[in-house]
Amino acid sequence: MNPIYRDLPTTIFETISLRASACGAINLGQGFPDGPRNDTVISAACEALRTRSNQYPPMRGLPELRQAVADWYGRHQALSLDPEEIIVTSGATEALAAALLALITPGDEVILFEPLYDAYLPLVRRAGGIPRIVRLSLPAGRIDAEALAANITDKTRLILINDPLNPLGTRLHSDDLSILASICVGHDLIAICDEVWEALVYDGSQHRSLMTYPGMRERTVKIGSAGKIFGLTGWKVGWMCAAPPLSAVLAKAHQFLTFTTPPNLQWAVAEGLESQDQWIISAAAEHAASRDFFRAGLADLGLATLPSAATYFVTVDLAASGILMDDLAFCEAIIDQAGVAAIPVSAFYYDAPETHLVRFCFAKERARLSAALERLGQAIAAPDGLGLS
């Protein structure tokens, strides 16, 4: 029995979602949206299931989808990618696993930034890597250049970044991206860039990939997700993009993980990337409006939030809100007392976690957000409500 997995807790998302379901709570924990719904993409998947092949597609992905991904990045991020540099995966987590298994030789050190998505550490360790953790400064999620430099050794091979960042909803500053590019080029490192939230940035901003920075085109693995772009998280269609020397190795790892991804979903995503640019922009605008509505409602309840520049998430700062309990206790309390589920951000830390931050998903119907705010308000107003000072 592998101790890496034997000793792991069940992911916090599954734990909270099961608890919410058992209690009948409004689940603002796990990051899946109520909408908007893209019927064009869904109809294309249904039609392809009936009229096109249901047998194994090419291991690297359908040519139509790989071309559509390349074209989409060309239009939106000024990236010139060849379809041969793109490998379709069964979700972004599979892409992460394939990249880490392909690029880590046991004993290699991997730079990670915390708070970090909970899959990163077990995947790095399973591949034989040694994690080196650099803590982002809060609330903006900035990189401490001195701390980063101090963690680079002669064994460092990879840097893994998540931009935009789950759980905080922050985006890396352009100066921080420049620092990462300089470090990677100067120390001959490969960057694995988890950019699944790239289509969900707000307030007139545009995502810029580390791959576009000087010296990074040949040393970046860029990971994307159709599930995030179209709000179809259960489809588990993702991809990884890299220059040919890297993509050839990535493909060899991918072929022995999931090997391939359902072809009807690939055809549908290809059609969506080719034809649904305006819908993608409109969906992001709807999510931004939900973010603004929910943050305003939290503020009316006396709950202070961190800035949310991207993703589906807004983070409450318990300490700044005058709440005395830690994040895990707060999440337990709001399930029990308010019937609302959220995620404790301490679950995204490796050691000595920050315990004053709680993540809510705002990608929900307005009525559901309103009901959650009402329930939270009633719990706060109750005697000894939620530990407010």
Residue ranges per structural domain of the chain: 3-37+278-380, 39-276
Cis ω for the linkage preceding 344 (within 30 of 0): no
Domain 39-276 of CATH type 3.40.640.10: yes
Using CA atoms, how far apart are residues 365 and 386, in angstroms rounded to an integer? 25
Instruction: Give the angle subtended at the CA of 117 by the CAs of 309 and 119, to the nearest 5°.
Output: 155
CA distance 169 to 254: 29
d(CA 311, CA 284): 9
Phi, psi dihedral angles at 171 (to 5 degrees): -125, 145
151 contacts: CB under 8 Å, gap ≥ 6: 111, 132, 133, 134
| Residue bearing tokens 């409006």 | 289
The answer to whether 263 touches 48, Cβ cutoff 8 Å, is: yes
- Alpha-carbon distance of 312 to 200, in angstroms, equals 8
pLDDT at 389: 45
Can you tell me whether residue 275 is helix, strand or coil? helix
Beta strands in 56-182 (DSSP E): 86-89, 109-114, 130-135, 156-162
CATH code, residues 3-37+278-380: 3.90.1150.10
Name beta bridge partners: 119: none
Four-point Cα dihedral 332, 333, 338, 341, nearest 10: -20
CA distance 144 to 187: 17
pLDDT score recorded for residue 125: 96
pLDDT digits 0-9 by tens, 209-242: 999 999 999 999 999 999 999 999 999 999 999 9
Per-residue pLDDT tens over the stretch 293-325: 999 999 999 999 999 999 999 999 999 999 999
- What is the Cα Rg of the chain in Å? 21
Cβ 243 vs Cβ 257: under 8 Å: no
Gap between the Cα atoms of 118 and 120, Å rounded: 6
User: Rounded to an integer, what distance in angstroms lies between the CA atom of residue 223 and that of residue 166?
Assistant: 14
How many residues in total does the chain contain?
389
Regions in the chain scoring below 70 on pLDDT: 1, 3-8, 385, 387-389
Q: How high is the pLDDT of residue 345?
A: 96
Q: What is the dihedral of CA 169, 173, 176, 182, to 10 degrees?
A: 120
Write out the H or E segment, with its range, that includes residue 344. strand 343-344
Contact between 319 and 305 under an 8 Å Cβ cutoff? The reply is: no
* Residue type at position 214: P
Q: Which of 109, 219, 226, 220 is nearest to 157 (CA)?
A: 109
Q: Render pLDDT for 46-78 as a digit per residue (tens, 0 to 9).
A: 999 999 999 999 999 999 999 999 999 999 999
Q: Are strands 86-89 and 238-241 parallel, antiparallel or unpaired?
A: antiparallel
Asked if residue 311 lies in contact with residue 197, where contact means CB atoms within 8 angstroms, the answer is: yes
Sign, CA dihedral 283-223-119-207, equals negative
Q: How far is CA 32 from CA 59, 61, 100, in A?
A: 28, 25, 25
Output the CA angle 31-4-103, nearest 5 degrees: 80
According to the model, what pLDDT value does residue 190 have?
Answer: 98
Residue 11 is predicted with a pLDDT of: 77
Task: Give the pLDDT confidence score for residue 18 in this predicted structure.
Answer: 86
* Token pair belonging to 130: 């040694």
